[in-house]
């Protein structure tokens, strides 16, 4: 309920990792009777991804992840790459044209953005690097909000 994931890469690999992440979160909850901290889930998923880079008979995951969550009164955003390396960010982009997106974010992002401005900046970042027509059918905006819930509630038409 307090963590969201998105991916860039191979969809089936994402499905495997989401299943594993859910299982890890459930195991944590059974032991500690509280939701898993975002950073701890990131570390555990990254370990799974890293194991696949060194294990014989399996290929590395062909997917990068963005994991966001809300813990201890603040939001977190992590990026995991296929090697299992992970990084914390305030804002980032990934995927085919991520360089354009990151460059755009470096110019536009600041910590004082209101929620609506941050959403607008995210959508403009997508436009900067998205190939094709952006519609409400191929773009979703997920927002990590307090108290510990992830909602997808903004339609792209509002901002185009």
CA distances from 46 to 1, 49, 82, 94, 109 (A): 20, 5, 9, 17, 27
Which residues, 6 or more positions from 33, have their beta carbon under 8 angstroms from its beta carbon? Answer: none
Question: What domains appear along the chain, each with residue ranges and CATH number?
Answer: 3-129 (3.60.20.10)
Q: Residue 149 half-sphere exposure, CB side, CA atoms within 13 Å?
A: 4
pLDDT at res. 144: 78
Mean pLDDT score across all residues of the chain: 87
Q: 3-state DSSP call for residue 141?
A: strand
pLDDT at 132 over 90: no
**What is the rounded CA–CA span in Å between residue 91 and residue 113?**
12
pLDDT tens, position by position, 68-126? 998 888 889 999 999 999 999 998 989 888 898 899 988 998 888 888 898 889 888 88
**What is the rounded CA–CA span in Å between residue 85 and residue 99?**
18
């Amino acid at each position: 309920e307090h963590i969201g994931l998105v991916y860039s890469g191979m969809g089936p690999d994402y499905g495997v990792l989401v299943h594993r992440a859910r299982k890890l979160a459930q195991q944590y909850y059974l032991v500690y009777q509280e939701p898993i901290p975002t950073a701890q889930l990131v570390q555990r998923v990254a370990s799974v991804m890293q194991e696949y880079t060194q294990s014989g008979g399996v290929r590395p995951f062909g997917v990068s992840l963005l994991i966001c969550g809300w813990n201890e009164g603040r939001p977190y955003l992590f990026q995991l790459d296929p090697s299992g390396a992970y990084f914390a960010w305030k804002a980032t982009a990934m995927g085919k044209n991520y360089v354009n997106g990151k460059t755009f974010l470096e110019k536009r992002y600041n910590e004082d953005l209101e929620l609506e401005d941050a959403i607008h900046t995210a959508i403009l970042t997508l436009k900067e690097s998205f190939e094709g027509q952006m519609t409400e059918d191929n773009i979703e905006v997920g927002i990590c909000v307090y108290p510990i819930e992830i909602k997808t509630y903004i339609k792209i038409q509002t901002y185009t």
